[in-house]
Chains A and B, each alone.
Chain A
Amino acid sequence: MKDSSVAMTNEQMVANVKAGQKRIRYRDTILSVCALLLFLIIWECLVMFELVDSRKLCSVLEVLKLFIVKLSDPNPDGSVLLVNIWSSLEVALTGYLLALVIGIPLGWLMGWYRGFDAFMRPIFEIIRPIPPVSWIPLTIVWMGIGLQSKAFIVFFSAFVPCLINSYTGIRQTKEVLINVGKTFGASNFTCFWKVGIPSSMTMTFAGIKVAIGNAWATLVAAEMLAASSGLGYMILMGRNYGRVDLVILGIVVIGVLGVIISFLIASCENIVLRWKKV
């Protein structure tokens, strides 16, 4: 045994290390799947052996069954599942994308141009601490209970982290890198564009990730207060009708959608911040 390890060639050693890495990845995947299964099994057992009142928790299989039924049955909340999902996604993405498109450039500009910062800061500092849901009554009066009012609330919740992070990110640009640009004769705007923005990207993406969490959280809250469809609305209806399964289905769908969206954001991040990963 000892002899063979001494006699290994370089290629063999490299292959060995690679195989080892593969084994670890494989093991990690299995561990992740196991955790999920374990969670579901415990849940199922709690229900099966009636450790928890069935009015408080329903079984995994019931949720799965309801999922399939809800794909085509609009009862009891009035819309089939896909309509609810779409209605929530539409609101969340409208508000969220608006927040990205407005919040991030605003953060960059405020972080780079002092005068603009001084101009914008008082307004921003007043808006910042306002809980997004406290806008709900006003937005209902202004825009009704449709897409606009809820998108507006989501916008506020996602806007703040986007702005703060891109602001902080561009503020942390290394002085020496800016000086490199300046000494090559770059204008302030060129430095902003070619040095400031790229170097703020790590922080900016952190903001984008925080923002999506905020967006979902406020979306559900907004729908519980004012909506006629959507996942939050479905959860609320489940509560009104005493349908635990409907509530849990709503929660699970929100969770899964969250995972999918986070994955999409992470893929984007991997492309933009590719230089960090290699």
Chain B
Amino acid sequence: MENMEKQEYKVRVEHLTKYFGNLHVLDDVSFNIKKGEFLCVVGPTGCGKTTFLNLLTRIYMPTKGQLYIDNEPADPKKHNLAVVFQEPSSMPWLTVEQNLRFGMEIKKLPKDEIDRRVENMISLLGLEEFRDKYPHQLSVSTAQRIIIGRAFAMQPDLLLMDEPYGQMDIKLRFYLEDEVIRLWKETGTTVIFITHNIEEAVYLAERVLILTNKPAKIKEEVKIDLPRPRDVTAPEFIKLRNYVTDQIKWW
């Protein structure tokens, strides 16, 4: 019975705990993600969201607990992970096209498969004219779209996004959020999206995890089953947004 349940989930996080010396950052976080789900994680600033992400990507190892992908302990060498970091993370010495290929070349995919996916991604993102440009020749938002393209092109088991639009203005953010939704639907990728922007979380997610202040625990899970495209001015939307806001405020 329990086994059946486990198999349904793409990603299982069990009792994830992290200390840096005496600093207790993450306290016994457990949750599951279904294949193809879009999960947002919100929490007050400085609650350890980035640590949380770095644990999921295995940049740090947890003090306690484990992360399973397809019922195996996650390992970037074996599993297919992709991360969109907060800071610009395209390789400045590679062209747009080479940047899109970067992750797949590390995974040593066959060349024709890489070609196919890159072409697909370039046309999905409308990057035709930028193909041979270098990241510093592009605007910040276009450069970030390349990172997102690079991540989706991997067709990852798990895609993690760490406040990818933190630095951008509202208009651009809406535009890029829609783009992520489009790519997510198109590819069926499992996504964890970390943000401190509640509106963004409610706009994107199927499910929102609310973290508490340090040491971070899961305070609550909120299901968002509004139809898409979502309207940020709709009363249901505002109600959910306010609810999540309250949960973050009153710990």
Contact = CB atoms under 8 A, between A and B. Distances in A.
Interface of A: 174, 176-177, 179-187, 190, 194-195, 198-199, 201, 273, 275, 278
The majority secondary structure among interface residues of chain B is: loop
B154 A184 contact: yes
5 contacts: A176-B87, A179-B85, A183-B57, A184-B81, A185-B78
Contacts of B102: 180, 184, 194
Given A177-B91, A183-B58, A185-B78, A194 B134 contact: no
B106 A190 contact: yes
B107 A185 contact: yes
Contacts, number: 68
B106 A198 contact: no
B71 interface: no
Nearest to A179: B59
Interface of B: 57-59, 75-83, 85, 87-89, 91-95, 102-103, 106-107, 134, 136-137, 154
B77 A275 contact: no
A34 B141 CA distance: 47
Given A180-B91, A185-B76, A185-B77, 15 more contacts: A176-B85, A176-B88, A179-B59, A180-B83, A182-B58, A183-B58, A184-B76, A184-B81, A184-B154, A185-B75, A185-B78, A199-B93, A275-B94, A275-B95, A275-B134
A194 B106 contact: yes
Nearest to B85: A176
A183 B95 CA distance: 21
Given A180-B83, A180-B85, A186 B91 contact: no
Contact of A195 (B75, B76, B78, B91): B91
A183 B92 contact: no
B76 A179 contact: no
B96 to A, nearest CB: 11
A183 B59 contact: yes
